[in-house]
Every structure is written in C-alpha cells, then in structure tokens.
Structure 1
Amino acid sequence: MSLKFDEATGCLTAALRQSLDLLDESAKKNTWEIRLRIGSPIMLFGSGGLLFVSGSGRLGKLPPGGGRLISRHDMEAVFSKLCDYSIHSHEDDIKNGFVSVEGGHRAGICGAAVINNGLIKGIRSISSINLRVARENPAAASEICGELFPNGLRSVIIAGAPSTGKTTILRDLARRLSSGFTGRAYKVALIDERGELAASRYGRSSFDVGFSDVFTGYPKGEAIISALRSMSPEMIICDEVSHTMEIDAIRQGFNSGVCFAVSVHASDIKDMLKRPAAKELLFSGAFENTVMLSPLGGPCRTEKIYRTDELLNEIRGGGNDFFDVCDVGAENDADSGGKSKTA
C-alpha cells in the first residue's frame, strides 16, 4: 500500500513531496486521502482520522506551528501536473470536479465554477485538491464471494459512504469472478468510466482485474449497451450508478440474462432507501442483495447483507424487521471469530 501512496505523491511538486517522503511506512499504508488547500498545511485522512503534516514529516491532530503552507503557486503547479500539462484534454473530467490519475488515483477539485447558460463548463482558481490514494486489496471481496457466489452468479449492490472501499471491492470481485475463484471463471465486463477500477494505460490494467474485459472512459450507460452487444458478458461490474440512463441499461442487461455488481453512495441502509437511484435499482428486479459497508474499522468491512425483498418491504412501509438478515460485520467478528452468519 505504501507503494501506492508514493505513486500518488508523484503527482505533487518536489517541494510538497518533501515532508511526505519523511513519513513512516505505517502512516503511508493507512492514508486514504492527501488533502491540499491554499493557505493550509498538507493534511492526510485515513484510519487515524484527519491529520496535519509538519515540515519534518510529523503527524498531528492540530495544525503545526510555523510549518510550510500551500501557496497558490503550489496549487497551480500540482493542478497542471495532474492534467499532464494539458488542462484542455481533461476538460470533461474537470467540469465534473475530478481528474483521474495514472495508477487509479483520483484528484477531487474545488474552486470557482465557470458557468455558461446555467451549466458548469469548467473550474478556475483551484483552491483545494483532494488526492484519493488508490487501494488494491486482494482479499477485499473474499467474504462477499463466499456469502453470495458459492453456487453461481447473482446481482448485488455494494453500498457505502466515501472511503469505505466500494471501488476496491468491485475491483477484487472482477478479479475473482473472471479468474475462477468461485469454482469456475465467468465472462466479466468491467465498466471503468473514470479510470479508477482498472486504471488501464495503453490497453493494460494497472490493477489486477483478472480476465475482465475493460471498457475505459465510456459513459456507463453506453458502455453497458456496448458490452452487451460486443462481449456477451455473464457479469457486468460498474461503479457509482446514479443516472436513469445507466439504470435503463442495467434493466436491458438483466432482461438479457446478465448479472450486475454495482456500487451506490449511502451513509447507511436508511440513507440508501431515501435515494431515488438506489430505489430504482431495487425496484428494477435485477438485484437480489445489497451489501452495506461499515464506516468503522477501515475500508472493505461488510456491515450487513440485505435481501432485496425485505428492503422493498421497508420502502413500501411494511415493517422494521428487515434488518434481521445476514450479518457479516463487526458483530460477527466478536460472536463467531470472524465467521459470518446467515439468517
């Protein structure tokens, strides 16, 4: 993991990397985000919460006194480097608030919006950058595979808050299902709109996604339709489903006999049930289960696995006992030595 941290910091200027290079290996491995803000010291977010970095590489919960602050020149230099010194070629990403970086890292961008006819056309005067360090965990989906895929494919929603490991789990799920970890190999299409799942460069994936067919840079809805037409997949995996066109494409795939694994943002299961896109996915009839990830204990920890019929019952106002389902989270770790229980 520290290698991914060092790879991510390669996007920064030498001056900003200086203090980060002094961090110990444990700090690097447990960092999920590198946060830059004009007029502030470098901040890290990870298993220890939000921490400030001093010029000597020390971490603290309070801003260091007299440390180096990020200047406007620093921010402009980092932004230019993130865009490979060609901001124009990254315009579509920038107007959506992020830049995908080689290695699967992702830089969120904050600044002043450029508006034209009521639409965001770009961002100028960049004031903050949040560099999310890509993680590769070869065991991320092992528990989910054991629970949900022992006897074949099914469709599943992976739900969780930011930094709970949704992308990491989908990536490992693609690797496992396409490589025969569940007893046989399946034809998997991996939809990588923002270059985070496979991080392909010149046709080769930077991450291990097994024998998946990777669609890079396509809008998700169009990629799903293209995959159905061209690659005859048995499973399609895609990150952050949120638009009606994407859900319509999923319905089309489901009607063609294809299974899906997708992720959605939600802080908890009740939050998920309030989100229109998540409810559309549940009502589509395509998905049998929802995996809710825990915000506690680090990324890729399953809190509970829910059955879709019980979630739909809750949406329709059918009662509160739908929470009594398959619990494979922290409670199980205490009760059964880490072995999951099935309701």
Structure 2
Amino acid sequence: MDKREELIKIFSKDIREILKQVTVDFEQVQEIRLRVHAPLLMICNNREYYITRGGNLSMRAEEAYLVTREALKETLDYMSSYSLYAFEEEIKQGFITIQGGHRIGIAGKTITDGHGIRSMKFISFINVRLSHQVKGCAEAVLPYLYDRDMIFHTLIISPPRCGKTTLLRDIIRQVSNGSVEHAGLTIGVIDERSEIGACYQGIPQNELGIRTDILDCCPKAQGMMMLIRTMSPQVIAVDEIGSREDLEAIEYVMNCGCKLVATVHGSSIEDIKQKPVLRKMVLEKWFERYVILNNRGKVGNIGEIYDSRGCRLYPVGGECF
C-alpha cells in the first residue's frame, strides 16, 4: 500500500473521495488540516493550498471544500478505529499517532482537573502531519559530526518545516547501524511527541537502527534521566529542547559521559542566544557542533555547520560567531 492509499483510508468518505482526485505526490505533502466550517487545507513543499471538492489545489479560499462537523467526526472515528478512548493518554498531549507513524494533532475543549489536562471533547480541529522517512538525508552532515568512533554533542537549529526531525531521524538510524568507517553506537531516543520513531502500539514505524531504544510519549527531561539510568546509551537523541527542565537534564547527560544530539526551533546561532535557557548552552560551549538548516531546496538542507568555538566548518571559511 502506497502512502496515498494508506492515508486516504483514515478520512471521512467525502474527504476520501476528494483526496483520491488530488494529483500531487503524497511524499511531498507535509500536512492536511481540517477545521469545522473552514476550508480543507494541504501543506505541500512548504506551500499552503486550498483543496476543492473536485480535488484541485487552489490559492482561492472561496473555491475550497468546507469541512463539516459530520466529516470531521467521521474522520476521528476512522483514525481511532471507533475507539478514541484507547488514545486517552495521547489525547492529553493533543495528538494521537496512527499506523504508518502519522501524527494527528487535535484541538477542542480541554477537560482539566487539579493535576492538569485530563481529556478533550468537542474536537473541532485536526492536523494530519505526515510521517516521512528520507533515508540517506544525513549523508552530507555526518562527516562533520564524528570524533573518531564517537560523535560530537550536536544541536540542529531549524525554522519550522525545514526537516529537522527528518534529519535527526536519519542521523539516529545511521549512527545506530554503524558503517565501514564507524562502529554502531547504542542510542536512546526520547520521543515525547511520537514524531521521531512514530511508534504505533509500541513498535516504531520509522527505522531508527539496530542499536536504538525508544521512550515513546515521555517528557524529555524525565526520559533522559530514565535512559541514562536503565539503558546505558552512548548517545541520547531528543527533539525540540528549550525548557529549563531540559537544560538540567542535558547537563546531567553530558556529565555522565553520554553524547547528545538535539534539535531546536531557530534560524541562527544568534537567534538561539536570544533565548534565556539556550543562551547558557551556547556561551558555555556545551555543544561541539551546530547544524543550521534552511528551506532552500530539499528537506533537511544544510545551511551552515559550526564548531563549539563558533567557527564555520561548512561552507568552508568565514568568521567565528
């Protein structure tokens, strides 16, 4: 079953018939958004399109198919196999992960208690984020990340939709498997939002290598501590760091002699230095490599690579930051 067929079956019958007519390559589709009484939207190659009832992509909102409450509810039923309660723990975090590793973001009325969000009802907004595994996309960056048979502490900096998670995923896979030049390393992945491994019923839908252990739907800070204590990883990989709790856990990981590969939203080193929590990491040279992505060309396109001193390694030359 190809990606289009795999995805189409999770939508309501009306939307399914529309998507069958869309002519784009679903390998290039990043998101499909449903909002009650609003246009059906598709994000493809970082561009937003309205989807018409005839399955055409348009730039005009008035031509779009309007999502009905019935279509959205039917879509939720298909996505959850009519058992939304089975995803109760994930719903607390605002998403569910379905077979194929696709993450379904949801929003509506939250139900809270004294301990935080307990559940959600009147779900009226759905964001289907398609899982893409681009094997080999880390080939260009890996030579800059190795220090003999170990890798450097690495921070991947990227604006939204530039492929930071896709790149991180392939780095994990290749470092875990090893190669002729480098032995494979044991990697622990904390996959707080089920985006890296995209686990479905505990089984990763994306290939992350033969020496990789995953903590799925686990808070990053707690997960880093747990893996260090229980799984003896040589490398820890996490997506989207930024909280003060993350900072403390990262310091613990590094002091334990474990290497860290992480991602963060941003457009440059200077951008990261403006964030109070991350500024400390940059100024104290916690990371030995900074990989900065941009949205030019393919997913995971490398803009620049710097070392801990701020000297640019790629492209060659240039002043230190």
- Residue 315 of structure 1 aligns with which residue? none
User: Could you say if the C-alpha distance between residues 47 and 303 of structure 1 is closer, same or farther in structure 2, counting changes exceeding 3 Å?
Assistant: same
d(CA) in 2 for partners of 1:99 and 1:235? 27
TM-fit CA distance, 1:295: 2.7
d(CA) in 2 for partners of 1:203 and 1:43? 30
Which stretch of the first structure deviates more once superposed, 242-251 or 206-215?
A: 242-251
Query: Would you tell me which structure has more helix in proportion to its own residues?
Result: 1
- Residue 217 of structure 1 aligns with which residue? 217
d(CA) in 2 for partners of 1:80 and 1:271? 42
1:115·1:122 contact (CA, 8 Å) conserved in 2?
Answer: yes
- Residue 260 of structure 2 aligns with which residue? 260
Describe the superposition over 1:166-196 as per-residue Cα deviations: whole angstroms up to 9, x where unpaired. 1111111111101113522111112222222
TM-fit CA distance, 1:256: 1.2
Structure 2 counterparts to residues 275-314 of structure 1, below 5 A: 275-282=275-282, 285-310=285-310
- Residue 199 of structure 1 aligns with which residue? 198
- Residue 159 of structure 1 aligns with which residue? 157
Gaps of 5+ in 1: 311-323, 329-340
TM-fit CA distance, 1:130: 1.4
TM-score by structure 2 length? Answer: 0.87
SS at match of 2:126: strand
1:189·1:237 contact (CA, 8 Å) conserved in 2?
Answer: yes
d(CA) in 2 for partners of 1:90 and 1:202? 10
Question: In the alignment, is residue 187 of structure 1 matched against residue 186 of structure 2?
Answer: yes
Root-mean-square deviation (CA, aligned residues, Å) is 2.6
Residue type at the aligned position of 1:100: T
Question: Out of 123, 126, 129, which is 1:126 matched to?
Answer: 123
- Residue 17 of structure 2 aligns with which residue? 18
Describe the superposition over 1:237-273 as per-residue Cα deviations: whole angstroms up to 9, x where unpaired. 1111233233222211211111010111224443322
Describe the superposition over 1:4-38 as per-residue Cα deviations: whole angstroms up to 9, x where unpaired. 344333322222111112222x4322211111122
Identity among equivalent pairs (%): 26
TM-fit CA distance, 1:209: 0.8
SS at match of 2:184: coil
- Residue 143 of structure 1 aligns with which residue? 140
Structure 2 counterparts to residues 52-91 of structure 1, below 5 A: 52-63=50-61, 65=63, 68-91=65-88
- Residue 321 of structure 1 aligns with which residue? none
Residue type at the aligned position of 2:176: S
Which stretch of the first structure deviates more once superposed, 253-262 or 41-50?
A: 41-50
- Residue 319 of structure 1 aligns with which residue? none
TM-fit CA distance, 1:63: 2.9
- Tell me how many residue pairs correspond in the alignment: 315
- Residue 335 of structure 1 aligns with which residue? none
Residue type at the aligned position of 1:291: V
Which stretch of the first structure deviates more once superposed, 109-118 or 94-103?
A: 109-118
Question: In the alignment, is residue 325 of structure 1 matched against residue 312 of structure 2?
Answer: yes
Gaps of 5+ in 2: none
d(CA) in 2 for partners of 1:239 and 1:266? 13
1:4·1:135 contact (CA, 8 Å) conserved in 2?
Answer: no
d(CA) in 2 for partners of 1:192 and 1:234? 17
d(CA) in 2 for partners of 1:7 and 1:243? 36
1:272·1:278 contact (CA, 8 Å) conserved in 2?
Answer: yes
TM-fit CA distance, 1:89: 3.9
Structure 2 counterparts to residues 26-41 of structure 1, below 5 A: 26-41=24-39
Describe the superposition over 1:199-232 as per-residue Cα deviations: whole angstroms up to 9, x where unpaired. 2345532111111122223222222222112222
Residue type at the aligned position of 1:226: M
d(CA) in 2 for partners of 1:206 and 1:264? 23
Residue type at the aligned position of 1:276: P
Question: In the alignment, is residue 228 of structure 1 matched against residue 228 of structure 2?
Answer: yes
